[in-house]
Structure 1
């Protein structure tokens, strides 16, 4: 039932069942997204240390694209979920179209920058000349093809808001399957396909995501549920679009703050050389593999909050957050034990370079130490977003990332010469702080009064 294509409302009945029905496909969806990252690193690590470092530097810049995509996605989920809760299915479909139009406009601008200035982007991130010459093609293709990232995120957010998380999951299974098949072909070459090296990982990923987007559009236009886009819906509706932009600005702001801090952390890490940078990149990819299921549970909480606020049931919305947070904390606590014990062995799957293994395993252990805090922090922050209150997480992110994490990382890693471990510690402490501040603010209850 949880994996079927049926859309559902979650404004009545058992909350535990509702969390299960939403979480299972969302967890699987997020696992699929993180497998992208692991598969690329697994194959690319066979090319060179520079190739792995290229992915790390490029991905840190691409996270700025993710910030816009996720910000618009949160607005899409909040508005669609609210309209479904209000039984306004036409309004939900119209909001979906405006999301897609906005995504296309933004991605075209980003593509132009990525294609023309790939070398300059890597240089700005502190890449050495040999890394730039080897890796700039990867950067060109991944940023140039960002439309696939943008639409994949945003259309899946529409499905989630409608209560159909399973479509989002199957979409990512399709894109991942293609990526896994195409990665070795384009990276190492096969038959008439030449070996593209690290550039091949970007080609495979873009083809996989692009195919999944086509599938999403088919489902939307020939839909199997509440959200079905018709030809009459395809028009720019100024009022709907401005409402979407208004709600998304906070989401975009909070993720731009988070992702730009990620870029600065990667820039600090580049000061310690390609081996340390590669270890850090592998550890972050491995960490994201288990962070994504947690993000899936957080998205489930966001949908429950949105639909129940739309149905005038704020107490039920709040209760769903605390139950989801508890389940998430149990999951993340178990994962942290695995990472603390087996960090070195996990990193060795991806590299046999001693320095890469040393710093990769240290990073994994330090980050895992804060996993239980991440669990509650993510659920609470996503719950604000599900309510349409995207401003509160923006303030929290600004304080925890820009006013605490970045100054702490730079001061300790560079000025006090603590080295890479200081950056790892800065990440964990900032996430702990987000959880504490987020829970205190959530208990105030002002998110229950937000209108979208």
Structure 2
């Protein structure tokens, strides 16, 4: 079969480092900015509902459970990304196709299995997170509807990382933009019910998400079929040897994600003991959405670092892989620091459109101010973690994730919130402190250089 992405491969492995970083990063930056805009619009629509604080809290509760699902997705996609990028860099295109094919089989099976508990136990799950009864009534249907179609994000993510790892960064952007556009339109129609249309509130948001995911997944599968990885869509025969190769890289990423997801649930659970729990949970949901303006560029450069490192290691260029990683890190840090300044300068203006509840507004403002100093550390940590994933080094980041989220973040959150008596502000401080520590620990591990010799 023809070589996969020759032009892209040459840019990534032979071109000027800054050009290679920007070539891979810019479509992902655009896509994540579009995603951020959608998330903010989604919160604005929910903010227009009569009980907006309950709707915002329900969305946050639902996603705290769905994050566990995305941990499993991240495991499969981490293995896919590392293998495809390494094989493309080494010009072993047939192996890249086979890695994609086996990842699609894994994603399909995992998506079907994940949907069962999310539908059957939706209400116990949201109550277990700490949702109040009135919030749980909104969160449970939301979780069941989105969770019932878990196969869609599993397939979408695997195809997206396979294309990106092969150097095709534009088509995932197109599919993501279409998906977000459909979601935004349906959110407006189903959440608010303009004109004679009925308003379905949080349930409408769930239906809009599923419908847009269907469109986005169908489109990205079309792009895969038109790519030079098209053979991955035929001859579906499970191969446990390949499953092992994918998950040997992916299982630490899965555990890392699960640790983060359960840790976040525990974090929200701690907040559920506050006298103003619903207001605090709503503020966290909105605060994280606004913060996404800042950290989504970090996500984009982290995503870019994966093929940059994987392909250059495959091409036998570990020093170039390292240079690409640092350049991507400083790009992300510069952008995120600039946005973080706005969190300190104009937090009220950023938060006001999302709620008319003065207590929630004050909590959002405090969240943004406390989070701002952590953003440069988060930027570098995220990008270097993406670089380590591209190298197939997922074990030590998992250990770091555990240490940061459990002994550090949760312990600090409990102590500051209840023992010191800082309330929700204590939870914000705990998150910021643990984020700074995470960034420093990832940098320390990356600088050892052990990732350069990981075998995939």
Aligned to 1:8: 8
User: Alpha-carbon deviations, 1:329-364, whole Å to 9, x = none?
Assistant: 111110110111111111101111101100011111
- Distance in 1 separating the partners of 2:190 and 2:352: 24
Residue of 238, 257, 260 corresponding to 2:259: 257
Alpha-carbon offset, residue 204 of structure 1: 0.4
Q: Does 1:314 align with 2:292?
A: no
Alpha-carbon distance between aligned partners in 1 of 2:6 and 2:343, rounded to the nearest angstrom: 36
The answer (yes or no) to whether the contact 2:294–2:340 under 8 Å persists in 1 is no
Deviation at 1:230, TM superposition (A): 5.1
Aligned residue in 1 for 2:397: 393
Secondary structure of the structure 2 residue equivalent to 1:304: helix
The one-character-per-residue Cα deviations of 1:234-253 (angstroms, maximum 9, x if unpaired) are 22122111100111001111
Q: CA deviation at 1:40?
A: 1.9
Determine if contact 1:302/1:383 at 8 Å carries over to the other structure. yes
Aligned pairs for 1:266-277 (under 5 A) are 266-272=268-274, 273-277=277-281
Aligned pair count? 446
Tell me which of 228, 241, 244 is aligned to 1:242: 244
Is 1:203 aligned with 2:175? Answer: no
SS at match of 1:451: coil
How do 1:116-127 residues align onto structure 2 when only pairs under 5 Å count? 116-127=120-131
Question: Deviation at 1:127?
Answer: 1.4
| Closer/same/farther in 2, CA of residues 7 and 261 from structure 1, 3 Å limit | farther
- Of 18-27 and 190-199, more deviation after overlay is shown by 190-199
Q: Distance between the aligned counterparts of 1:208 and 1:6, measured in 2?
A: 32
Of 428, 444, 448, 1:444 maps to 448
Residue matched to 1:376: 380
**Structure 2 residue 140 is the aligned partner of structure 1 residue 133:** no
The change in CA–CA distance for 1:289 and 1:68 in structure 2 (over 3 A counts) is: farther
- Residue 176 (1) aligns with residue 180 (2): yes
Structure 2 CA distance, aligned partners of 1:194 and 1:115?
A: 25
Consecutive unaligned residues of structure 1, counting only runs of 5 or more, are none
Which of 58, 74, 77 is equivalent to 1:73? Answer: 77
Do structure 1's residue 353 and structure 2's residue 360 form an aligned pair?
Answer: no
**Counterpart check, 1:109 vs 2:129:** no
1:276-295 to structure 2, matched below 5 A, reads 276-295=280-299
How far off its partner does 1:71 sit? 2.1
SS in 2 for 1:200: helix
- Say which SS state the counterpart of residue 127 (structure 1) adopts: coil
Give how far 1:271 is off.
2.5
1:296 counterpart = 2:264: no
Gaps of 5+ in 2: none
Cα distance between partner residues in 1 of 2:359 and 2:82: 44
Distance 1:231 1:340 in 2: 49
Name the CA distance, whole Å, in 1 between partners of 2:106 and 2:233: 18
- 1-side partners of 2:172 and 2:7: how far apart? 12
* TM-score, structure 1 as length reference: 0.95
Q: Structure 1 residue 6: deviation in Å?
A: 8.8
Q: Identify the residue that residue 333 of structure 1 maps to in structure 2.
A: 337
Match of 1:370, SS state, is helix
Q: What's the offset of the Cα at 1:190?
A: 5.5
The 2-side partners of 1:6 and 1:174 are apart by: 27
Aligned counterpart, 1:217 = 221
Q: Which residue of 2 aligns with 1:57?
A: 61
**Cα deviation 1:61-85 (Å, max 9, x = unaligned):** 1111111112221211111000101
- Cα shift at 1:260: 1.6
Structure 1's 74 and 7: CA in aligned 2 closer, same or farther, altered over 3 A?
Answer: farther
Contact 1:36/1:205 (CA < 8 Å) preserved in 2?
no
Listed one character per residue, the Cα deviations across residues 140-176 of structure 1 (whole Å, up to 9, x for unaligned) are: 1122222222222221111111111111111110100
Deviation per CA, 1:377-417: give whole Å up to 9, x if none. 11111111110011011011111111211111112212332
Answer yes or no: is the 8 Å Cα contact 1:69–1:153 preserved in 2.
yes
Q: Relative to structure 2, which stretch is displaced further, 31-40 or 297-306?
A: 31-40
1:220 touches 1:229 (CA, 8 Å); kept in 2?
Answer: no
Deviation at 1:22, TM superposition (A): 0.5
| Residue 45 (structure 1) aligns with | 47
Contact 2:101 2:232 in 1 (8 A): no
Deviation at 1:192, TM superposition (A): 8.1
> What is the CA-CA distance between 1:216 and the residue it aligns to?
1.1
Greater mean deviation of Cα atoms: 30-39 or 12-21: 30-39
Q: Is the 8 A contact 1:35 1:176 kept in 2?
A: no
Shift of residue 231, structure 1, vs aligned partner: 5.5
What are the residue-to-residue correspondences of 1:413-432 with 2, within 5 Å? 413-432=417-436
CA gap 1:54/1:231 in 2 versus in 1, 3 angstroms: closer
Q: State the partner residue of 1:149.
A: 153
Deviation at 1:134, TM superposition (A): 3.4
Q: Deviations over 1:238-287 (max 9, x none)?
A: 21111001110011111111222111111122223212211111001111
